Structure 1
Amino acid sequence: MTITYKSRVEVPEKEKWNFEDLYKNLEDWENDYLWIEKKTAELKKFDGAIHNGESLYDYLSEKEEVSSKLNLVYVYGMLQADVDTRDALAQSLVDRAKQLSVKISAASSFFMPFLLSLEESTLREYIEQEPRLKYFEQDLFEAFRYKAHVLTKEKEEILSNLGEALSAPSHTYSMLNNADIKFGEVTNDEGMKVELTRGMYSKLIEDEDRDKRREAYKAYYQPYLQLKNSIASTLSANVKTNTTLARLRNYPTALEKGLFGDMVPKEVYENLITATKANIGPLHQYGSIRKKLLGLEELRQYDLNVPLVPGVKLEISYEEAYETILKALAPLGEDYVNTLKTFKDARYIDVRETPGKRSGAYNLGVYGVHPFVLLNQHDDLDSMFTMIHEFGHAMHSWYSSKHQPRISAGYSIFVAEVASTVNEVLLIHYLLERETNQEIRKYLLNHFIDQFRGTFFTQVMFAEFEKITHEYAESGKPLNANVFSEIYESLFRQYNGDEVVFDEEVKYGWSRIPHFYRPFYVYKYATGFASAIHIAEQLLSRDESAVNAYIEFLKSGSSDYPLELLKKTGVDLSKPEPIDNALKRFEQLISEFAAL
């Protein structure tokens, strides 16, 4: 039975974050805030005053100290705002931290133009003069890659000062989607009308009663249809901001700007879409299987998430899920498992859904502190998969923070999704290997197929949506609710096939995807999933060298470019094999399921 709480006060302390791990009290936070403010003003003294290795080191070390403290100040407010988006004090802390971030950007905006004005030989001289600069060497030379994309000192300062304004579309959507949105009503088990919540929706959309699914679907999309023009305005502004910045910074396209940091060729992105659409047949076949097994004359969007094996309701408590996860991750070795075991009692995890809490789940690794994992636990199979996914991120943060200096401890989102998805694949293997009940085995296989569809195919569809919408903006075509809907509907039909009969709501799917406010991000779920399939199979073969290579990968942070880090695990995404192999694996799963 899923535990529900009417307020955060009711949740046991052991299932809530301990904010004192960041700051003992608000006074300590305020002291750090004032210190950052003072030090930020002092950063300006370096403008025009860096003439040798020592002064360059002094600037870089002071800037790093300010940035690391800002991270703590920002995270403290953000985490509290996320557990209750209605908390005005927490929101004010976030707003103040954002304003401080803008000030830091403005105070340090001189540096990149200065650095790129140097000859490479001069920079090497500085590093020889001041051995402590070795710590910053990789980042300094990485900056030279951006030479063609950095503006004059004056223009960089203007863009820095506009930082808060440029992030307004994303912030506005976040407030709409998390704090202000009111879903329609659904009928509860007692026959009473109650307001739908996201947590309820994730349950009801999988309910075997089709009327309940339809009712929940209509109630869930109701506010998105009502707000479609407002949301289209925020999304359009976000896309146009991104394309404008790409143009100002001399990138050929917004897509190439999005891939530049990870040094991923645009061909990797385009090949992902091309290969997926060329092998879309098994996904369409799955639609036909779903329609047949559900005994439907028409398959609709609200039929795409209900498990195809009726009568299997797996209720898994938080404690039981945690124990199962630890066993499933045994192939990763004792150190991995024993470390993860400590996270629960140390209160690194905020577990329960409560009113006002941010939806979904995430991990936030804080260097020098620990990972913070947000969940909205519902004591079911999906919740267990969400947990193990976020624990993959958390352990990646843990290992990188322990084995990398601050400057390279953070890791690219590109490789982040590998760590989380490897965990999910290990869990499904563990469950299928031990389950003897045929109905539950079919249920789990169905779950894996749906996970594959959501983490791979849906994300590729989203990636293509982003590519098209940015191309529209770049060519001066209008972007509004109708245009977004036309693009989304067309793609949904291509990916899901002719079996799905469209309700009016389908084409407004774009309006409920927060990831679209982080352009060219979602494709990494798909590349991460394909990479994880390969890595997990190596780990399950109990190949000791594969385990060591993977743990080394987790320890690597951002010490190399993502594609190079992945090559150490045996995955080369510059070639088609990882994507092709993942698509073949999906085809096998469909065949296995069809046979059952």
Structure 2
Amino acid sequence: MTTYSSRQEVPEKEKWNLADIYPTLEDWQKDVQYIEQAAENLKKFDGNIHDGKSLLAYLTESEKVSYKFGKVFAYGMLHVDLDTRDTASQSLQDKAKQLGVKVNAATSFFMPFLLGLEESTLKAYMEEEEGLQYFEKDLRDAYRYKAHVLSKEKEEVLSQLGEALSAPSHTYGMLNNADIKFGEVTKDNGEKVELTRGMYAKLIEDTDRNKRKEAYKAYYQPYVHLKNSIASTLGAAIKNNVTVSRLRNYSSALEKALFADNVPKEVYDNLISTTKQNIAPLHKYAEIRKDRLGLDELRQYDLSVPLVEGVEKEISFDEAYETMLNALRPLGEDYINTLASFKDARYIDVRETPGKRSGAYNMGVYGVHPYVLLNHRDNIDGLFTLAHEMGHAMHSHYSHETQPQNTARYSIFVAEVASTVNEVLLINYLLNKETDEKLRQYLLNHFIDKFKGTLFTQVMFGEFEKITHELAEKGESLNEKVFSEVYEKLFREYNGDEIVFDEEVKYGWSRIPHFYRPFYVYKYATGFASAVHIANRILDGDAQTQASYLEFLKSGSSEYPLDLLKKTGVDLTTPEPVENALKQFSELVEEFAKAPTK
């Protein structure tokens, strides 16, 4: 395993080249000065847009500022993430953030102005100024919100209440990130230490059941202790969301959440009902887990430990990249050649070094190229993370190369499709070529657990959000008892009767930050199901799906997410894509069940 004690030790070819954004710091500073001046100029349009010409002038200048700000912000953020301890980099990011506040303040007048226009007036502006056609989709998108925008006075009141309305989420964040102290766990030498989140993630996968149990109890201890306080923050967040949805004339909080992506409520309901109709294989997997672990009873702290031990396969970064390229060949020559070029062009920061941001991500910088941050480990998990993030990078590359700036950024609704298609193609490739039975078992287990976490668990969370918001909409009280009853019932429905419940299980709702960003997690599940559907068709040799999928990657946000997916053969208004994904899950579980355990 390659480890580095400093960034200087990392080979140049495995480090980002940030000079592609700005060759020098002086070039960055020039754009900062430009944006500062341009923000002042944008303010002058407030009250001075009276015709198509002035509207076009504002939109053109605003887009230019947005383009430069994107580069300025990326340059600062990417520098910080390479070494979060570096104060010079922090000052770049701070300056970019301050600039963002200035730009937002300078342009805040525009949306109320636009929605105050009569549609006939906007139409006249469009007809008189040909250049406005470029911005037509943006303008029409904004106009969809007209029925949900209040009078100027009410909008001002809501704006002033913004901080108060977000207080429950902020309070939970402080509790969860700053104040919570986990219980103690025992180190190998017998010493007692306070559990951290990083330790928990490792210990809950430990083969020693006593260690798992101790970590589980210690992790849940503060959540159980604070259950009433956390129920108060979550209840308030849900009620605030319901109240704002009513004030803005939405029929429900769910409808408000789906509005931006133009997704009908049926898609959400269909995801839940189809998943629950096909839940039996997940229950069977719990039975297999109990059997493979040799347990008399299966508990929640037994659900994360890998079922196949001792698989340590070292895969260098170069070998991982080559394996990924081979696995993705069904996507065609252009995809493979483009992806191959990213490695030597230094789009990827590969290695973990002191101070570097943890995890992995892709950031598409419009007008430059994608930047991918990794903390690469030379193992199978590292290979999967690479394939996942390069899926995002290729989505950014194709969309940015094909689309104009205003439709180049893709929606979060479709973001996980490109990354998961790569993972499905990779697992298929590895399973087809792998002859070592133990490694095959490890790969199956890996993919089954990925399926469970990305689809089943997120759908369960989505149903929890739906039920609790509907209770609030009926005027019923929300408290610890209500949340725990709803969560426990759902956990049992999804995970089956094989699991023996510890007291902590029902408090699972208290540790999920996503619940403060309502009706968001379902997108993980729809994206995953869509990707499985697309990847399996491509693997079946469906040339039309392969071609339409590449078009999808080039489409950015040129159409609404459901319309873009329909072009690839995925219609989420029907049960078919989710059913197909769940069918594959069932097949994976069947194959895993049949394999020899020794």
TM-score when scaled to structure 2?
Answer: 0.88
The corresponding residue for 2:439 is 440
Alignment of 1:65-76 (within 5 A): 65-76=64-75
Correspondence for 2:142: 143
**CA distance in structure 2 between the aligned counterparts of 1:32 and 1:586, rounded to whole angstroms:** 50
Q: Any idea what SS the aligned residue of 1:500 has? A: coil
CA offsets 1:35-54 (integer angstroms, 9 cap, x no match): 43432233232223222211
Equivalent runs, 1:199-210 vs 2, <5 Å: 201-210=200-209
Partner of 1:277 in structure 2?
276
Asked if the contact 1:349–1:372 (Cα under 8 Å) also holds between the matched residues in 2, the reply is: yes
Structure 2 partner of 1:497: 496
CA distance in 1, matches of 2:82, 2:568: 36
Write the distance in 2 (CA, Å) between the matches of 1:466 and 1:404: 35
Equivalent residue number for residue 586 of structure 1: 585
* Residue number in structure 2 paired with 1:63: 62
Q: Which residue of 1 aligns with 2:286?
A: 287
Aligned to 2:120: 121
Give the letter aligned to residue 47 of structure 2. G
1:460 corresponds to 2:459: yes
Change in 2 beyond 3 A, CA 1:9/1:482: farther
- Tell me which residue corresponds to 1:296: 295
Contact preservation (8 Å) 1:7, 1:355: yes
- Which stretch of structure 1 is more off in the superposition, 227-236 or 392-401? 227-236
Give the deviation of 1:391 after TM superposition. Answer: 1.6
**8 Å Cα contact 1:410-1:557 kept in structure 2:** yes
Q: How big is each residue's C-alpha offset from its partner over 1:43-83, in whole Å with a ceiling of 9 and x where there is no partner?
A: 23222322221111011112222233333344344445555
State whether residues 198 and 359 of structure 1, in contact with CA within 8 Å, keep that contact through their aligned partners in structure 2.
no
Where does residue 412 of structure 1 map in the other structure? 411
Unaligned runs of 5+ in 2: none
Which residue is 1:528 aligned to? 527
The letter of the residue matching 1:111 is F
Distance 2:165 2:236 in 1: 9
TM-aligned CA deviation for residue 522 of structure 1: 1.4
Asked whether the equivalents of residues 228 and 508 of structure 1 are also in contact (C-alpha less than 8 Å), the reply is: yes
Tell me how far 1:409 sits from its aligned partner: 0.4
8 Å Cα contact 1:422/1:533 also seen in 2: yes
> Counterpart of 1:313 in 2: which secondary structure?
coil
Map 1:97-496 → 2, pairs under 5 A: 97-98=96-97, 100-156=99-155, 201-218=200-217, 220-221=219-220, 235=234, 238-353=237-352, 359-477=358-476, 479=478, 483-496=482-495
Deviation at 1:140, TM superposition (A): 1.3
State the AA in 2 paired with 1:316: I
Within 2, Cα distance between the matches of 1:198 and 1:354?
Answer: 20
Going from structure 1 to structure 2, the CA distance change for 1:197 and 1:561 (only over 3 Å counts) comes to: same
1:553 aligned partner = 552
Instruction: Tell me the distance in 1 between the aligned counterparts of 2:573 and 2:41.
Output: 45
Amino acid across the alignment from 1:280: I
Per the TM alignment, residue 433 of structure 1 is displaced from its structure 2 partner at its CA by 0.5
Whichever residue aligns with residue 422 of structure 1, its letter is V
Cα gap change, 1:207/1:527 in structure 2, threshold over 3 Å: closer, same or farther?
Answer: same
**Paired residues of 1:98 and 1:164 also in contact (CA < 8 A):** no
* Whole-angstrom distance in 2 between the partners of 1:273 and 1:330: 34
Consecutive unaligned residues of structure 1, counting only runs of 5 or more, are: none
Number of residue-to-residue matches in the alignment: 595
Aligned mates of 1:240, 1:30 — CA distance in 2: 45
The Cα of 1:373 is off from its aligned counterpart by 2.5
Report if the CA contact (8 A) 1:412-1:562 is conserved.
yes
User: Could you tell me how far 1:191 is from its partner in structure 2?
Assistant: 7.0
* Counterpart Cα distance in 2 of 1:102 and 1:77: 15
Tell me which moved more, 128-137 or 333-342.
333-342
Q: What is the SS of the residue equivalent to 1:364? A: strand
Residues 183 and 433 (structure 1), Cα distance of their counterparts in 2 relative to 1, 3 Å cut? farther
Paired letter, 2:560: Y
**164-173 vs 356-365, which deviates more?**
164-173
Instruction: Give the residue type in structure 2 aligned to 1:38.
Output: Q
Q: Distance in 2 between matches of 1:344 and 1:230?
A: 49
Partner Cα distance (1:126, 1:36) in 2: 27
The 2-side partners of 1:83 and 1:173 are apart by 29
2:101 and 2:580 map into 1 onto residues whose CA distance is 45
Structure 2 vs 1, CA of residues 550 and 204 (structure 1 numbering), >3 Å: closer, same or farther?
A: same
More displaced 10-residue stretch of structure 1: 9-18 or 488-497: 9-18
Deviations 1:503-560 (A, max 9, x none): 3443443444443343222111211122112211121123333221110110011111
Name whichever of 408-417 and 518-527 sits farther off: 518-527
1:120 to partner: Cα distance: 3.1
Contact 2:231 2:510 in 1 (8 A): yes
Deviation (angstroms), 1:310 = 3.5
Do the aligned residues in 1 keep the contact of 2:70 with 2:366 (CA within 8 Å)?
Answer: no
Compare 530-539 and 358-367 and name the one that shifted more: 358-367
Which stretch shows the higher mean deviation, 537-546 or 284-293?
537-546
The Cα shift of 1:377 comes to: 3.5
Change in Cα spacing, 1:191 to 1:474, as seen in structure 2 (3 Å) is: same
Distance 2:214 2:330 in 1: 43
The one-letter code sitting in structure 2 at the alignment partner of 1:290 is R
Distance 1:13 1:256 in 2: 49
1:375 Cα deviation after fit: 3.3
CA distance in 2, matches of 1:245, 1:351: 44
* Preserved contact between residue 372 and residue 394 of structure 1 (Cα < 8 Å): yes
Deviates more, 1:10-19 or 1:327-336: 10-19
Using the TM superposition, name which of 584-593 and 554-563 deviates more. Answer: 584-593
RMSD over aligned CA atoms reads: 3.4
- Relative distance call for 1:163 and 1:342 in structure 2 (3 A) is farther
Answer whether contact 1:452 1:586 (CA < 8 A) is retained.
yes
* Superposed displacement of residue 500, structure 1: 1.6
What's the offset of the Cα at 1:233?
6.1
Judge conservation of contact 2:16–2:346 (CA < 8 Å) in 1: yes
User: Cα–Cα, structure 1 residues 184 and 70, in superposed 2: closer, same or farther, change >3 Å?
Assistant: farther
Indicate the SS of the match to 2:489: helix
Q: CA deviation at 1:570?
A: 0.9
Shift of the 241–18 alpha-carbon distance from structure 1 to 2, 3 Å rule, reads farther
The answer (yes or no) to whether the contact 1:178–1:359 under 8 Å persists in 2 is: no
Q: Distance in 1 between matches of 2:398 and 2:33?
A: 32
Amino acid corresponding to residue 383 of structure 1 in structure 2:
G
Residue 263 of structure 2 aligns to a residue whose secondary structure is: coil
State whether residues 106 and 157 of structure 1, in contact with CA within 8 Å, keep that contact through their aligned partners in structure 2: no
TM-score normalised by the chain length of structure 1: 0.88
SS in 2 for 1:363: strand
CA separation of 1:45 and 1:93: change in aligned 2, threshold 3 A: same
Contact 2:407 2:558 survives alignment (8 Å): yes
Matches of 1:226 and 1:91 in 2, distance apart?
37
One-letter amino acid of the structure 1 residue matched with residue 311 of structure 2: V
What amino acid is the match of 2:559? Answer: D
**Are the aligned partners of 2:363 and 2:370 in contact in 1 as well (CA < 8 Å)?**
yes
Question: More displaced, 379-388 or 563-572?
Answer: 379-388
Tell me how far 1:418 sits from its aligned partner.
Answer: 1.3
Distance 1:181 1:377 in 2: 30
